[in-house]
Amino acid sequence: MLRFIAIRLAQAIPVLFVVATLTFFMLKLAPGGPFSAEKSTTPEIQKQLEAHYGLNKPLFSQYLTYLGNVVKGDLGPSFKYPNRTVNELIGQAFPVSAELGFWSLLVALSLGLSAGIVASLRPNTLTDYIPSGLAMVGICLPIFVLGPLLVLVFALKLEWVRVSGWDDWIDRILPALTLGGFYAAYIARLTRGGMLEILSQDFIRTARAKGASPARVVLRHSLRGGLIPVVSYLGPTVAGLLTGSFVVETIFQIPGLGRYFVTAAFNRDYTMVVGTVLFYAGFIIVFNLLVDLVLVRMNPKLSYE
Amino acid sequence: MSALLRVENLRTYFHTRSGIVRAVDDISFSVGEGETLGIVGESGSGKSVACYSLLRLIPQPPGRIESGEARFGDCDLLHCREEKLRAIRGNRISMIFQDPMSSLNPYLRIGEQVIEPLLIHKLASPNDAFDLGVAALREVGIQDAAKRMRSFPHEFSGGMRQRVMIAMALITKPELLLADEPTTALDVTVQAQILELIRRLQQEHGTAVIFVTHDIGVVSGFCDRVLVMYAGRVLESGPTAELFYEPKHPYNQALQRSIPALHERGAELHTIPGAPPDVTQPIRGCPFAPRCEFAEEKCITSEIALKEVTTGHATACLRVQLGEIDLTPAAVAGE
Amino acid sequence: MNPTDESRRSSLWRDAWHRLAKNKLAVVGAIMLVLLTVASVVGPSLLGQSYFAQDLQLGAMPPSAQHWLGSDTLGRDLFARLLYGGRISLAVGLCATAVALTIGVLYGTVSGFLGGKVDAVMMRIVDVIFALPFTVFVILLMVLFGRRFVLLFAAIGAVQWLTMARIVRGQVLSLRRMEFIEAAEALGLSKARIIFRHMIPNALGPIIVYATLTVPSVMLLEAFLSFLGLGVQPPMSSWGVLIKEGAETMEEFPWLLIYPGLALAITLFSLNFLGDGLRDALDPQAAKD
């Protein structure tokens, strides 16, 4: 297992390298620069600023310097927030996004799994149609429609919660429902499919022939196999929660990493953009590795190869 | 021999889109304590459905038990409450299946599956159950049993998995074992080993067995009594030896003729002309009549019922019942 | 199945057609899509309302006889903007799917057909790209190189081809083992001919199904980008743009959010139902998930 982890992490290095390189040159190729937007700066000040951040050096040497710093774990200074480093900014914004992601994942898993399991127990009856129909609605209601709608109903009309903010637990509810809702719907569909597949297998009949109760048949004999598609989907889910958080953090004014990233991209804050992309890529790689480790544990036919 | 299980007028239909499939259409039989009853028939004859119906393991819907009674002790298996049936399943009546590859849960360890009946029916504490599981695996001839408890099904061959299934079925010392074609999916050499194993364990434990198979040859060496099924009905039933030496139904006779025998090398292999009837249509008269060389007008127009013609030997053939034809090999040879 | 037998093949398609026609939800979805497409293609010119003509005195008004779905803050007719936006949204959906389809089918076919080490490397690349926050790159692309229409669906198509490549490769791998392909190889047919005449036609079912399911996710992505302010530029509108504008003023003028949201949701519904129906009809083995 350790070997497996080591190999996977070693494979991640070239990937991160490609990501860094691609993003770096994409930014440099793009028209405009971090300081051209501000009209108040005179050409002289602009030159000074560029010299300060090393932007007047040849492109390739800038690239090498940057890579060298990244290897040391230094993502550089932010161009837009003077005196702040990218490491600091990520360190400050990511915990907010992570908390949002955690609650959303919790919503997605708890709603999705229970709806999917209920739907699978009596296929093509009312207890299947209702959760399956809701799941379809969830899949067809994008985050940026669901979010404003929830705000409209629960914050503006009913005034149960605040429109935006991120102070106490009540502020977590709408963002988590918004972000988790779509994935809850998708997970419900996956769970239903996986469970139906397993429940039609011969070994379920064996379990029933042993005298197992319906609860035991589901919990002990079906869940493990039936949830494999769901767990496989967790990798993409987390990647999706990350990008979904751009929208949700915008709608609800949450000071998370997604908002910083979009703002940084608009502002040509090079180091912040590359740093965030690298951070996301690394995060997703590690998470996918975790998912694969869980899958190996769930499915005895897989091994660490 | 007192009856352990008595089945009367069992009917199991499947309500499918293309019509009602009368998979089991009014069959009755009984099994005595420690007895081995063979149910023989082609695929589609309803033999497996009959077997599953007893424990209500047919998929419902589309399957439905339309009528009948299956008296097991003080309980009617077909109509008793679900909890009561669950207490019998895997405890007093166990089952083994045709395909050992798909009948074991691939996600659970062998040991956990083998001892599960003990835990479900609270027959042993988890600790004792483990030891009993090891003993059960050893009893079915699995080497290194204690270590193999931790293996997963995919690490076993087909024959070994069927041994595991048998160990699992017999671990609660059931009174009745339902065996649904347990050797069909296995290699010929393994088949013989498994049969031998079932027979040995049956004798040691005094378990009654209902042995469902399409292989009439398997039945001959193994069963006390045999039921011949065709198109959801029983056409003939009786003691094994009699069924072979004194067939009382043309279908049984035709079946035996279609077995290739070693001592008749070069002899022509008999096949039964035609195909089994469409069981989505109600059948009038004898279901075998369209393929039967002895069939007459009355075979199609009259109601057919299973009747005893000699002690313990019953046939559904009207003409045999009326004494119009004699199918014993001696009589056939003398014609 | 004998895939070289034309009559058998056409009967396979006929069977699939019958299965599809029996699936009510899929049929409803297909009809809705045809209606939406027709409405957004010819609707704007028939309606007699301009999508960009402003009427600042009118301002935002709820639905009325004059403006069926009301008007926005600049007094523009919402129904006209919705139809026009639908044109853009559908166009992006179709074009980007076409891009994804082309890349994915070619990549997947080549990978599956060549097999061995080439296949292993090519699929490893897909795995790696798959693991990346690719939407992030699309956002970057849109921010940095401007909100150009062509760029929009090129970028989206480039994200969506991965799954297509995997599906096609799987199909090709299983087809390769079939006898009629071996026979074609034994007859000395060129690789290109085998691929285009035999492989792709036989893998068509799953490809169609997945393409149908790609269109809604592409439309979602477009709307997502528009919502972040990275989609098409004013005065052009797409459903994403309209939803964004509606969300900004939803407290006073909720219809500006609700109708565009509804239009998008109904389209996604229709596409998903049609996609599910097609999957059941064309690709029965995959129907389970």
Domains and CATH numbers, chain B: 3-223 (3.40.50.300), 250-334 (no CATH)
* Rounded CA separation C32/C271 (Å): 9
Of residues C133, C224, C228, nearest to A242 (C-beta) = C133
Extract the tokens encoding A196.
């139906």
Instruction: Assign B46 to helix, strand or coil.
Output: coil
Three state DSSP letters for C132-194? CCHHHHHHHHHHHHCCCHHHHHHHHHHHHHHHHHHHHHHHHHHHHCCHHHHHHHHCCCCHHHH
Contact A118, A191 (CB under 8 A): no
Q: Flag whether residue C223 sits within 8 Å of chain A, measured between CB atoms.
A: yes
d(C-alpha A248, C-alpha A176), whole Å: 9
Residue A113 pLDDT level (bands cut at 50, 70, 90)? very high
* The architecture CATH gives domain A93-298: Orthogonal Bundle (1.10)
For CATH 1.10.3720.10, the residue range(s) in chain A are: 93-298
Closest chain A C-alpha to C143 CA, distance in angstroms: 6
What integer pLDDT is reported at residue A111 of this predicted model?
A: 93
Comparing CB atoms, the residue among A143, A239, A266 nearest residue C133 is A239
The continuous run of DSSP H or E covering C2 comes out as none
CA A82 to chain centre: 28
pLDDT given for residue A107 in this prediction: 92
Beta carbons within 8 Å of C205's beta carbon, 6+ residues apart: C16, C282, C283
Are A292 and A45 a contacting pair, CB within 8 Å? no
Do C272 and A242 lie within an 8 Å CB cutoff? no
Could you tell me if A61 lies within 8 Å of chain B, comparing CB atoms?
no
Report the pLDDT value the prediction gives residue C127, as an integer from 0 to 100: 75
Q: Which of C132, C143, C264 lies at the smallest CB-CB distance from A142? A: C264
What is the pTM (predicted TM-score) of this model? Answer: 0.79
C141 touches chain A (CB under 8 A): yes
Phi and psi at B323, nearest 5°, equal 75, 20
Which of A203, A210, A301 is opposite residue B90, by nearest beta carbon? A210
Residue from A19, A243, A246, A276 whose CB has the most chain C CBs within 10 Å, to mutate: A243
- Interchain proximity B105–A206, CB inside 8 Å: yes
Q: Which has more pLDDT, A243 or B304?
A: B304
Strand partners, B39: B212, B227
Question: Which of A122, A125, A128, A206 is the mutation pick for testing B, counting most B CBs within 10 A?
Answer: A206
Contact A209 B87 (CB under 8 A): no
Distance from CA of A297 to the nearest CA of B (A): 10
pLDDT tens-digit map of C102-156:
888 888 888 887 878 888 888 878 877 776 666 777 777 777 776 666 777 777 7
Cβ contacts of B182 on chain A, cutoff 8 Å: none
The answer, for A229 touching chain B at a CB cutoff of 8 Å, is no
Residue of B nearest to A200 (CA): B59
Give the residue from chain A lying closest to B53, CA to CA. Answer: A209
Integer Cα distance of A256 and A166 in angstroms: 10
* Alpha carbon of C175: minimum distance to chain A alpha carbons (Å): 24
Task: Give the nearest chain B residue to A203 (CA atoms).
Answer: B103
CATH number of C92-289: 1.10.3720.10
pLDDT band at C4 (very low <50, low <70, confident <90, very high): very low
Higher local confidence (pLDDT), C205 or A181? A181
For CA atoms C172, C177, C180, C185, the dihedral sign is: positive
In this complex, the residue of C133, C220, C244 whose CB is nearest that of residue A284 is C133
| Beta-strand relationship, B36-40 and B208-213 | parallel
Name the residue in chain C with its Cα closest to that of A274.
Answer: C140
Give the pLDDT band (50/70/90) at residue A115: very high
User: Can you tell me which residue has the tokens 């109760």?
Assistant: A213
Q: What element of type H or E holds B11?
A: strand B3-16
What integer pLDDT is reported at residue C26 of this predicted model? 81
> Shortest CB distance from B106 goes to which of A208, A212, A300?
A300
Contact B120 A211 (CB under 8 A): yes
* Complex-level ipTM: 0.84
Residue closest to B117 by CA, chosen among B144, B151, B93? B93
Put simply, whether A278 touches C (Cβ < 8 Å) is no
B78 contact partners, CB below 8 Å, separation of at least 6: B10, B53, B54, B56, B65, B68, B69, B70
Subunit contact A211:B97, Cβ cutoff 8 A: no
Q: What DSSP assignment string belongs to A197-209?
A: HHHTSHHHHHHHH
pLDDT at residue C9 greater than cutoff 80: no
**Across the interface, do B89 and A209 touch by the CB < 8 Å criterion?**
yes
- Return the bridge partners of B180, or none: B212
Provide the 10 A C-beta neighbour count for residue A157.
11
β-bridge mates for residue B40, sequence order: B213, B228
- Angle at which helix A86-121 crosses helix A228-251, to 10 degrees, equals 130
Measuring CA to CA, which residue among A124, A136, A142 is closest to residue C270?
Answer: A136
pLDDT at B64: 86
Report the relative pairing of strands B36-40 and B313-315 from DSSP bridges. unpaired
Rounded-to-integer distance, Cα A57 and Cα A54, Å: 6
- The answer, yes or no, to whether A and C have at least 3 beta-carbon pairs within 8 Å is yes
Q: Between chains, do A201 and B121 touch, taking CB under 8 Å as contact?
A: no
Backbone angles phi, psi at C63, to 5 degrees: -50, 140
Residue B65: its H or E element = strand B63-72
User: For B302, phi and psi rounded to 5 degrees?
Assistant: -85, 160
Please, are residues A278 and A20 in contact by the beta-carbon 8 Å criterion?
A: yes
Task: Tell me the pLDDT band of A134, cut-offs 50, 70 and 90.
Answer: confident
Closest by CA position to B102, among listed B46, B44, B48, B154: B154
Strand, coil or helix: C254: coil
CA distance C277 to C274: 5
Q: C219 vs chain A: nearest CA distance in angstroms?
A: 10
Chain C residues with CB under 8 Å of A27 CB are: 140, 144
Q: How far apart are CA C271 and CA C256, in angstroms?
A: 23
Q: To 10 degrees, what angle do helices C255-282 and C6-22 make?
A: 140
| Structure-block tokens of residue C166 | 């995997």
The whole-angstrom separation of Cα C27 and Cα B31 is: 55
Residue in B with minimal Cα distance to A227: B107
Question: Which residues of chain C are within 8 Å of residue A194 when distances are taken between CB atoms?
Answer: 289
If DSSP codes are grouped into helix, strand and coil, which group holds residue B216?
A: helix
Euclidean distance between CA atoms B44 and B36, whole angstroms: 22
Angstrom distances, CA of residue A111 to CA of A116, A167, A183: 8, 25, 9
Interface probe for A, chosen from C140, C241, C271 (most Cβ of A below 10 Å), is C140
Residue A194 at interface with chain B, using a CB cutoff of 8 Å: no
Residues of C in contact with A229 (CB under 8 A): 289
Which of chain A's residues have a Cβ under 8 Å away from the Cβ of C131?
A: 15, 235, 239, 281, 284-285, 288
A48-103 pLDDT per residue, tens: 777 777 777 777 888 888 888 888 878 778 777 777 888 888 888 888 888 888 99
Q: How near does any CA of chain A get to the CA of B36, in Å?
A: 20
| Residuewise pLDDT in 10s, chain B (335 residues) | 478 889 888 888 888 877 888 888 888 888 988 889 999 888 878 888 888 998 888 887 788 888 888 888 888 888 888 888 898 888 899 999 888 888 888 888 998 899 998 988 888 888 888 989 898 888 888 888 888 989 998 888 888 888 899 889 888 888 899 988 888 777 778 888 888 888 888 888 888 999 998 888 778 878 889 999 988 888 889 898 888 888 888 888 888 877 766 556 566 667 777 788 887 778 788 888 888 888 888 888 888 888 888 888 888 888 888 877 877 776 666 55
The model's pLDDT over A49-64, given as tens digits with 9 standing for 90+, comes to: 777 777 777 778 888 8
pLDDT of residue B261: 62
List the 225-254 stretch of A: residues with Cβ below 8 A of C. Answer: 229, 235, 239, 242-243, 246-247, 250-251
**Cα radius of gyration rounded to whole Å, chain B:** 21
A interface mutation test: which of B107, B168, B210 has the most A CBs within 10 A?
B107
Query: Are C and B touching by the rule of 3+ CB pairs within 8 Å?
Result: no
Compute the nearest-CA separation of A187 from chain C (Å): 11
A110 to chain C, minimum CA–CA distance in Å?
Answer: 19
With an 8 Å Cβ cutoff, are A210 and B154 in contact? no
- C105 in Cβ contact with C207 (< 8 Å): yes
Q: Name the residue in chain B with its Cα closest to that of A125.
A: B61
Is residue C244 a contact partner of residue C226, using CB atoms and an 8 Å limit? yes
- In this structure, what are the phi and psi dihedrals at residue A269, rounded to the nearest 5 degrees? -80, 80
Of residues C131, C269, C273, nearest to A288 (C-beta): C131
According to DSSP, the residues that pair with B307 across neighbouring strands are: B315
Confidence of residue C1 (pLDDT cuts 50, 70, 90): very low
**A194 interfacial to chain C (CB closer than 8 Å):** yes
Tell me: the pLDDT tens digits for B12-68? 888 887 788 888 888 888 898 888 999 988 887 888 888 899 888 888 778 888 888
Q: How far is residue C92's CA from residue C225's CA, in Å, rounded to a whole number? A: 12
Among B102, B120, B154, the residue with its CB nearest the CB of A210 is B120
Our CA dihedral for B189, B194, B197, B199, rounded to 10 degrees, sits at -100
Of C90, C189, C100, C104, whose CA–CA distance to C138 is shortest? Answer: C100
Are A140 and C268 a contacting pair at CB < 8 A?
A: yes
DSSP string computed for chain A: -HHHHHHHHHHHHHHHHHHHHHHHHHHHHSS--TTTS-TTS-HHHHHHHHHHTTTTS-HHHHHHHHHHHHHTT---B-SSSTT-BHHHHHHHHHHHHHHHHHHHHHHHHHHHHHHHHHHHHSTTSHHHHHHHHHHHHHHHS-HHHHHHHHIIIIIIIS-SS-SS--SSTHHHHHHHHHHHHHHHHHHHHHHHHHHHHHHTSHHHHHHHHTT--HHHIIIIIIHHHHTHHHHHHHHHHHHHHHHHHHHHHHHTT--SHHHHHHHHHHTT-HHHHHHHHHHHHHHHHHHHHHHHHHHHHH-TT----
C3-24 b/e (C-beta count within 10 Å ≥ 16 → b): eeeeeeeeeeeeebeebbeebe
Cα–Cα dist B192/B188, whole Å: 7
Question: Hey, are the CB atoms on A211 and B57 less than 8 Å from each other?
Answer: no
Name the residue type at position A268.
Answer: R
Of B90, B97, B107, the CB nearest to A299: B107
Looking only at the bridges linking them, the beta strands covering B93-96 and B176-180 are parallel
Cross-strand bridge partners of residue B16: B19
- Residue C3: pLDDT band (50, 70, 90) is very low
Chains that touch B (3 or more CB pairs under 8 A): A
